[in-house]
Chain A
Amino acid sequence: MKIVVCIKQVPDTAEVKLDPKTNTLIREGVPSIINHDDKAGLETALQLREQVGGTVTVVCMGPPQADVALREALAMGADEAYLLSAREFGGSDTYATATILAAALRKIGFDLVITGRQAIDGDTAQVGPQIAEQLHIPQVSYAEALRAEGDHVIVQRQFEDRSHLLQVQLPCLVTALSELNQARYMSVGGIVDAYAKDVTVWGFEDLKNDLNPAFIGLNGSPTNVFQSFGKQLRAPGVVLSGLSADEAVDAIMQTLIQRHII
């Protein structure tokens, strides 16, 4: 089975702060990681390869620094890696991103495409389904379990109040939840190998036969950012410290009574 996993390098959003004066993100010194959902998807791909044979290819669109994310994927055990990096790709929204990734996937070939459900920076969960749409293949979102059976995959899909066990024929695309799998650690041998292997870098020229320049990048994106800003926090209230437990309870009781909660 030829499995291709799309990964994204993201800033660890727990560490991102907003500059209140300029309303821009302070990204300096913020570590970059492989998006959690994507990493769980990669782990699943590696386990599937162990069970049914085949290859695992990782694809990442991003700046040249995203090479590190692909090396980490190679160190975990991926067979080959592609970095899609070009000035023409910059500023792409989810539609344009999916257009570029789909072009690369058509060139690479695939039986099963795995993406993460959503990236922790954008939180859109749109790129996976939009890749599937452009490739004209079925999608199953929110996978919490996955196994292969002949030319089908069986996916447990999580909804808010229930899960569904779905059977879908290959080729198809599955979006992974981070709870799908606990990613393995890079092995020492794997890390050494990862830097011996090649990461293939594709720019616009490499994909242009299959890519309409009017539909990619900032200008080709259907959506654009109109404004960005921080939230204004609520007005501060009263903080009571140094109270005895009984005094604290009295203060809470007064509030509950005043607000007609009890």
Chain B
Amino acid sequence: MSKDIFVIVEQRGGAVQKVSYELIGEAAKLSADLGEQVVAVLLGHEIAHKAETLVQYGADKVLVVDHPVLADYTTEPYVKAVEYIIRTYDPNIVLFGASSIGRDMAPRIAGRVHTGLTADCTRLDVDVKKYQDYLRTSTSLSLQPERIDALDTSDRYLKMTRPAFGGNVMATIVCRKYTPQMATVRPGVMEMPQKDESRRGEIVMVDAGLSMEDQNVTILQVVPSDKKAVDITKAKVLVSGGRGVGGAEGYEPLRQLAALLGGEVSSSRIGVDNGWIEKSRQVGQTGKTVHPDLYIACGISGAIQHLAGMEGSEFILAINKDASCPMMKIADLGIVGDLKVILPKLIAAIKAYKLSQTV
């Protein structure tokens, strides 16, 4: 019988990506509900020394596939390796990061082993009671409690929840007829687990029968992004600009404010589409999901696609000329006013305050 929760670990140039730890943390929660183990699958070349860290973050077992053809990501060798793992170990659940690599590889694997795959999930549940709590407290279904109460609490299938229609609607998807149940999970959404250096687990080297001939595309060149990519998902404070900043130069005061608050600058889609700021700083459905301690929305009206990426922020401060825009409706503090007047004064006030604290 299919069992255990497998996490396909993503590494780039030998560095394990943060989303993989988030997935191990989430898998550990699900494994407690299922009474099954968390198995991390580490694919790459000369990467076996990373296995122990995966155990420390919560994996019970690590399967390592080490082969030169896996040194740089290309689709077919990675698909073949995971296919081998699935056919050999028969997992109940397989999770991937919903990154470029995960979303390239996972659909092809689901096709090859003939199972279902749910894209870009933001929530996973096995336990129906926890799922019902979520529906009651965080969704519009709270208005239809009879629909929530009617759910079968003995259901142990993986309930995979994701936004669709540009974030206008949430859908929970199940895959009942086939195993493994597979999902790609959005980076930055699941909680990062605590590292425990005393944890011990089994590490197994797996020969997946790969060869250099499995690679059916040739990497001619790696083209670095012209701007150094920043990870806005790690920032505690984000100062985010929208249409209201007016242009590329309009982000300058936002940068000063972010620097003073130890944060980063981010943007709604409009700033990226207009070339005012780089894509790696975009928040929202087609950008990144963030949940900083403080999100300062400057001149962002709050299209649903943008809100989808930032409504999990701890505290939302909105500054906007329009008191009736959607961002004001979800902001913890909304200031109706002109950015161009308020921001320079705010920057000066923070500088003065900081100075007063050091004396």
Q: Residues of A at under 8 Å CB distance from B?
A: 11, 13-14, 16-18, 20-21, 23, 25, 93-95, 98, 120-130, 132-134, 138-142, 154, 156, 158-169, 221-234, 236-243, 245-246, 248-249, 251-253, 255-257, 259, 261-262
Asked if A237 and B316 sit within 8 Å, CB to CB, the answer is yes
Bound complex: CA of A245 vs CA of B342, how far in Å?
5
CA distance in complex: A103, B58 (Å): 43
Query: Inside 8 A of A133's CB, which chain B residues have their CB?
Result: 107-108, 111-112
Specify which chain B residues have a CB less than 8 angstroms from the CB of A16 in the assembled complex. Answer: 165-166, 168-169
**Cβ 8 A contact of A225, one of B135, B171, B261:** B171
| CB of B259, distance to nearest CB on chain A (Å) | 12
Docked-complex contact A238 and B104, CB < 8 angstroms = no
CB-based contact A237/B332 at 8 Å: yes
* Chain A residue at minimum C-beta to C-beta distance from B280: A160
Report which of B169, B261, B337, B341 forms a contact with A229, defined as CB distance below 8 A: B169
Task: Pick the residue among B138, B178, B335, B345 that contacts A246 (CB under 8 A).
Answer: B345
Is B328 an interface residue, CB under 8 A from the partner?
A: yes
> Is B36 an interface residue when CB atoms closer than 8 A count as contact?
no
Which residues does chain A contribute within 8 Å of B143, judged by CB atoms? 20-21
B335, A252: Cβ atoms closer than 8 Å: yes
Contact between B342 and A123 (Cβ–Cβ < 8 Å)?
A: no
Please report the C-alpha to C-alpha distance between residue A165 and residue B219 in the assembled complex, in whole angstroms.
6
Q: List 21 A-B contacts (CB under 8 A).
A: A14-B166, A93-B116, A94-B119, A123-B120, A125-B119, A129-B104, A130-B110, A132-B108, A161-B280, A162-B223, A222-B177, A223-B173, A223-B175, A224-B175, A227-B147, A228-B172, A229-B139, A232-B142, A245-B338, A252-B342, A257-B353
Q: Across the two chains, which residue of chain B brings its CB closest to A96? A: B116
**Chain B CB within 10 Å — which of A95, A122, A154 has the most?**
A95
B76 interface residue, CB < 8 Å from A? Answer: yes
| CB–CB B335/A164 < 8 A | no
Q: With A123-B166, A239-B331 in contact, is A224–B107 under 8 Å at CB?
A: no
Rounded to whole Å, the gap between the CB of B231 and the closest CB of chain A is: 9
Query: A165: which B residues are within 8 A, CB to CB?
Result: 219-223
Q: CB within 8 Å of A: which of B298-354?
A: 303, 305, 311, 315-317, 319, 323, 328-338, 341-342, 345-346, 349-350, 353-354
**A167 touching B220 by the CB < 8 A rule?**
yes
Report how far A132 CA is from B336 CA in the complex, Å.
51
- Interface contacts beyond A98-B111, A249-B345: sample of 13 additional A-B pairs, CB < 8 Å, sorted by A: A121-B165, A122-B119, A125-B119, A141-B100, A161-B280, A222-B178, A225-B172, A226-B173, A236-B330, A241-B337, A261-B237, A261-B261, A262-B354
Interface residues on B, range: 35 or more
Q: Would A222 and B115 count as touching, CB distance under 8 A?
A: yes
Bound-complex Cα distance A185 to B338 (A): 39
- Knowing A223-B118, A262-B354, the reply to whether A230 touches B139 (Cβ < 8 A) is yes
Residue of B99, B217, B224, B285 near A123 (CB, 8 A) is B285
Interface string of B151-175 (1 = CB under 8 A from A): 0000000010001111111111111
Nearest residue (CB) in B for A222 is B116
Of the candidates A18, A142, A222, A261, the one having the most CB atoms from chain B within 10 angstroms of its own CB is A222
Residue of A nearest to B100 (CB): A159
Contact A138–B76 (Cβ < 8 Å):
yes
Are B144 and A236 closer than 8 Å at their CB atoms? no
Residue of A nearest to B354 (CB): A262
Give Cα A245 to B329, complex, Å. Answer: 21
In the complex, whether B199 has a CB less than 8 A from a CB of chain A is: no
CA distance A217 to B4 in the complex (A): 30
Q: How far is the CA of A243 from the CA of B320 in the complex (A)?
A: 12
User: For B205, what are the chain A residues with a Cβ–Cβ distance below 8 Å?
Assistant: none
